[in-house]
């Protein structure tokens, strides 16, 4: 089955006429994603590679029957772009933009509260259900359709883990980069719950990093609510306290959010944690034999 996106996804691209939007639109189309429209204010009525461009998300959704949006717009306008997509009735919004001000994202979270909307990101590589649909900037060719779900806070480590999975015969149901910012949409717990319900997914790989409490919350959820096995890797073992490492959300403060603390909590909840991403396939083989 997969989660969130599949072959029925009808996508619009906000920022389709920009350099990044145009480049990745073509990559997604080549993969097989159904892109039915684009949005750039002031350029409505034009087309990009025979994809119609609209001035607003509402007009695009009404004319195309789109149910999903991907956002490639500058940080200053991204929060408004998310809220515009939500107003247009789109149920899944993938926000690629890095560097959105934290206060803007607080406004977005408040605006989406109570609405049945899947927000992926911001600062995400995107989401892919191999063989069905790709929304984002990941290389589609490293993915293979299968039964392993993957959730990650790191784009680069997502690609690395997927490559190891595919080369060792483990295809994926859906792979999601949740984003490395302090305030994001869907988190580890939200996605573990979806994977638990998905018939195609047999096990889940969780890639975390220092900072925040998402991994600890995932461990608690797994212990109490999940039957499917999870394998984890935590990046940032050597990161010094008080220094941000890579992502805005990857900072150790007040003695909390360390890799050691997260690993201890995950293992206590019955989730094996590997030392290196290349060890993930071997650990999956062990737990799936049981």
- Other beta carbons within 10 Å of 192: 22
C-alpha–C-alpha distance, residues 133 and 58, integer Å: 23
C-alpha–C-alpha distance, residues 258 and 235, integer Å: 10
pLDDT range class, residue 289, cuts 50, 70, 90: confident
Global pTM reads 0.94
* Cis amide bond preceding 122, omega within 30: yes
pLDDT range class, residue 290, cuts 50, 70, 90: confident
Indicate the domain borders of the chain.
1-123, 138-290
Set 24, 143, 222, 247: catalytic member? 247
Does pLDDT of 248 surpass 60? no
Name the nearest CA neighbour of 205 among 230, 223, 224. Answer: 230
pLDDT on residue 242: 58
pLDDT range class, residue 243, cuts 50, 70, 90: low
- Other beta carbons within 10 Å of 288: 14
**C-beta separation of 218 from 270 below 8 A:** no
Mean pLDDT of the region 79-90: 98
CATH number 3.90.650.10 is the correct assignment for the domain at 138-290 = no
Mean pLDDT of the region 65-79: 98
143 belongs to the catalytic site: no
Whether 1-123 and 138-290 share one fold: the answer is: yes
- pLDDT tens readout for residues 117-127: 999 999 999 99
pLDDT on residue 57: 98
Name which CATH class applies to 1-123.
alpha beta
Q: Which residues contact 165 (CB under 8 A, 6 or more apart)?
A: 144, 148, 150, 171, 172, 205, 280, 281, 284
**b/e 227-261 (16+ beta carbons within 10 angstroms → b):** ebbbbbbbbbeebeeeeebbbbbbbbeeeebbbeb
């Amino acid at each position: 089955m997969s989660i969130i996106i599949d072959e029925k996804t009808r996508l619009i691209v906000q920022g389709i006429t920009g350099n990044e939007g145009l480049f990745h639109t073509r990559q997604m189309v080549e993969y097989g994603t159904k892109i039915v429209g684009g949005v750039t204010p002031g350029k409505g009525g034009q087309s990009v590679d025979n994809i119609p461009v609209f001035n607003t998300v509402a007009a695009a959704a009404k004319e195309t029957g789109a149910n999903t949006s991907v956002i490639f717009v500058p940080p200053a306008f991204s929060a408004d772009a998310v809220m515009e997509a939500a107003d247009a009735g789109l149920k899944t919004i993938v926000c690629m933009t890095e560097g959105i001000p934290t206060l803007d994202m607080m406004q977005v979270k408040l605006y989406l509260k109570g609405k049945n909307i899947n927000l992926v990101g911001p600062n995400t590589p995107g989401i892919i259900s191999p063989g069905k649909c790709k929304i984002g900037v990941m290389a589609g060719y490293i993915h293979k359709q299968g039964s392993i779900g993957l959730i990650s806070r790191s784009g680069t480590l997502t690609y690395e883990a997927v490559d190891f999975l595919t080369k060792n015969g483990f295809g994926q149901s859906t792979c999601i980069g949740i984003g490395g910012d302090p305030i994001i949409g869907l988190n580890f717990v939200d996605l573990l719950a979806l994977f638990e319900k998905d018939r195609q997914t047999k096990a889940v790989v969780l890639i975390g990093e220092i900072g925040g409490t998402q991994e600890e919350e995932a461990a608690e959820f797994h212990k109490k609510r999940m039957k499917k096995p999870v394998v984890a890797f935590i990046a940032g073992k050597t990161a010094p306290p008080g220094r941000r490492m890579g992502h805005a959300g990857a900072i150790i403060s007040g003695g909390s959010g360390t890799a050691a603390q997260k690993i201890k909590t995950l293992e206590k909840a019955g989730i094996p944690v590997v030392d290196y991403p290349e060890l993930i396939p071997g650990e999956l083989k062990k737990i799936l034999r049981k």
